[in-house]
Structure 1
Amino acid sequence: MRSLVNKTLLAATLGMASITHATTVDVTFNIPQPDAERYAKPYVAIWAENGRNAEHLLVWHLQGEKDKWLSDLRRWWRKIGRYDHQMDGLTGATKGPGQYSQTFEINDEWDTFTLYFEAARENGGRSLMKTQIDTTDGHQQYRIPAEDELGDILITIN
């Protein structure tokens, strides 16, 4: 029994250590207001890739129905979306124009990775933006210029 308790405490301690050492990524981005009479809110996906490994960070899509438009997020869909059905905790409903901020925890074993942002609207446009992140330099900021479906993106690594 004592061995089981010690192993449980050790596992909990190691688990907490890995949580406290995760790389924190703060992202601020804008969904622009289009000049369109009929406007569908965009689907948005944010994820990180390190070689063959990928981590879902955020997916905004229609909720509560079979979502045939998720595959319009083409890069995300081909890389991880169609294979990984364990994303329910990362998803949310689509959002309208405005500025949004999100904080993510990235695998601390990844010194460098590519952060991807993809947005697509039903019968509308599509944007895919990415930047290479290097966490070995400590606190850093990255800026990605706006495209059709996403405004400027500011990324802060802590």
Structure 2
Amino acid sequence: MRARFSIALTGLLAGPVFAADLNVGVEVPNLKVAEYHRPYVAVWVERDDQTVAANLAVWYQQKEGKGEGGKMEQGTKWLADLRQWWRRAGRSATLPIDGVSGATRPAGVHKLEFDDAKAPLAGLPAGSYKLVVEAAREVGGREIVRIPFQWPPAKPAHFDTKGDVELGAVTLDVSP
């Protein structure tokens, strides 16, 4: 009787297990330039040694379009312009990456939501990481921002940074 009571009480005191959440906001600024092209953007989580722990999003031209000289070309051709992501994960990835690849986005704030119960964060070991957002634009520049964070988070935390030209505000909210 005593053993059953303590086992039942242990189950009650342990409480429910909640998933950790990672929410990202990426602002694509509205640029006033003569020839505007939507940027290619890659969002990933990197380890301290700068290897990719998880690809979160890759936004690029999804359908064929006319390039220089009127020749048809695929948007994947220009993914190498996302230099950091390409060197670390892109060149070895099979595109499109299921659940990660998407079309380029217009100017505005774009929200991405993830939890540790599903890919790409499922199984991400505890440790120090950086959220990395890289943007590259045809007839424009390229830019990369990093936000360090701990995973899984012990308590809710908010982080933000801002790009100079190709990226606006980049936010990261983590919660246990």
Q: TM-score, normalised by structure 2?
A: 0.72
Shift of 1:153: 1.2
Runs of 5+ unmatched residues, structure 2: 1-16, 65-73, 116-120
Q: Does 102-111 or 78-87 show the bigger shift?
A: 102-111
Q: Does 132-141 or 104-113 show the bigger shift?
A: 104-113
| In 2, Cα distance between equivalents of 1:21 and 1:46 | 25
Alignment counterpart, residue 100 of structure 1, candidates 105, 110, 133: 110
SS in 1 for 2:99: helix
Aligned ranges for residues 16-31 of structure 1 at < 5 Å?
22-31=19-28
Q: Tell me: CA distance 1:150–1:41, structure 2 relative to 1, closer, same or farther (3 Å).
A: same
Q: Which residue in 2 is equivalent to 1:156?
A: 173
Identity %: 33
Q: Which residue in 1 is equivalent to 2:131?
A: 115
Shift of 1:29: 2.0
Q: Which residue in 1 is equivalent to 2:11?
A: none
Shift of 1:23: 3.1
Is 1:49–1:115's contact at 8 Å kept on the other side of the alignment? yes
Shift of 1:21: 5.8
Q: Which residue in 2 is equivalent to 1:76?
A: 85
Q: TM-score, normalised by structure 1?
A: 0.79
Greater helix share, 1 or 2? Answer: 1
| In 2, Cα distance between equivalents of 1:45 and 1:93 | 11
Runs of 5+ unmatched residues, structure 1: 1-19
SS in 2 for 1:75: helix
Aligned ranges for residues 1-158 of structure 1 at < 5 Å?
22-50=19-47, 51=49, 52-65=51-64, 66=74, 67-85=76-94, 87-105=97-115, 106=121, 107-135=123-151, 136-158=153-175
- Deviation sequence 1:28-47 (CA, Å, 0-9, x none): 12111112122100001000
Larger Rg: 2
Paired positions, count: 139
Q: Which residue in 2 is equivalent to 1:9?
A: none
CA RMSD of the aligned region, Å? 1.8
Shift of 1:137: 3.2
Q: Tell me: CA distance 1:68–1:53, structure 2 relative to 1, closer, same or farther (3 Å).
A: closer
